[in-house]
Amino acid sequence: MKVLVTGAAGFVGHHVARRLAETKQCDVLGVDNLSPYYDVALKRARLEQLAPLEKFRFLQADFADAEKFPALVAHFKPEYVVHLGAQPGVRHSMENPAAYTRANLDGFATVLEACRQTRPKHLVFASSSSVYGAGAKPPFREDDNTDQPLSYYAATKKANELMAHSYALNHGLNATGLRFFTVYGPWGRPDMAPTIFARAICEGTPLKLFNGGKNLRDFTYIDDIVDGVVKVLLYPPPPNPAEIGSTPWPPRIFNLGHHRPVETLLFVRMLEQLLERPAKTELLPPQPGDMFETCADLTRIQAAIGFAPKVPLEEGLRRFVAWFREYYRL
């Protein structure tokens, strides 16, 4: 089968494309515009890992290009689409909202329109635990109110869920949104906590911990995320019995996390042990846009596809540190 993966040079996209291509049952086309939001060399290094795979091809392209991207999709004719491309970063969205409008709003609209025209069996797209926002009480459940996002990034991800809902109802598009919870692991983004913390510890520079390091995060290892994405992808929503032959169900929304929140300061202590170096911590007040705690309720996705995270934080961090030391030579 033919699968299109956007954001294939990104952290999650790289791993998903690899898993699909390695099955040798999928022809995978990865697209990415190689945005300079963070070091493009890391993105190219990820692509180098994918290049030897017989079932993987890469095309540098911008999914937000409303003229060219739909034509690309129409030419490839994917049976499945995994949309992982986006402008990430909670704090950066406060400084450069235009980038989020283009990639996460205009870009997702272009992806939806391309899927409307080409009719894949299933579109799976990345949402975020950030959508839960103010007033959310852990563990977060998919039917919780998500009308109070704390950042513009979160607002764009909430908008993506609503946009997909509209396309499902109006155009019969099969879609599923996945709310990722703090993904970490080898080939992770340099702007995320594991790499920022590990680099600061290795270089002996002050490590800034907002909210005094008391924030709790549901760290989820990349292999568990990939398991969830691939299983969900291959099981589209069933037909709506009330609308046989026409409109499917509205898009499913699933949490994809680990359900084991860990305090940021404890996370740093675990990294200290693995790196065998002390951290110089600087405890700061809460950061605007940050949530105090994230924790995924996994009841819905467990019932749908039998998803259960397998990699404990201790093992996942060990694998991350081994990659970090090799890649950054620290």
- Taking alpha carbons only, the member of 263, 275, 287 closest to residue 321 is 275
> CA 321, CA 251: separation in Å to the nearest integer?
37
- Total residues found in the chain within this entry: 330
Q: Are 284 and 198 in contact (CB under 8 A)?
A: no
132 a catalytic residue: no
User: Token digits for 179?
Assistant: 């709310």
Q: Which residue has the tokens 């292999």?
A: 223
d(C-alpha 121, C-alpha 108), whole Å? 18
φ, ψ dihedrals at 165, nearest 5°: -60, -45
Separation CA 315–CA 187 (nearest Å): 16
* Residue 69 and residue 111 in contact, taking contact as beta carbons nearer than 8 Å: yes
Q: How far, CA to CA in Å, does 192 sit from each of 124, 138, 184, 195, 219?
A: 23, 22, 8, 6, 11
Give me the catalytic one of 153, 167, 184, 221: 153
Active site residues: 153
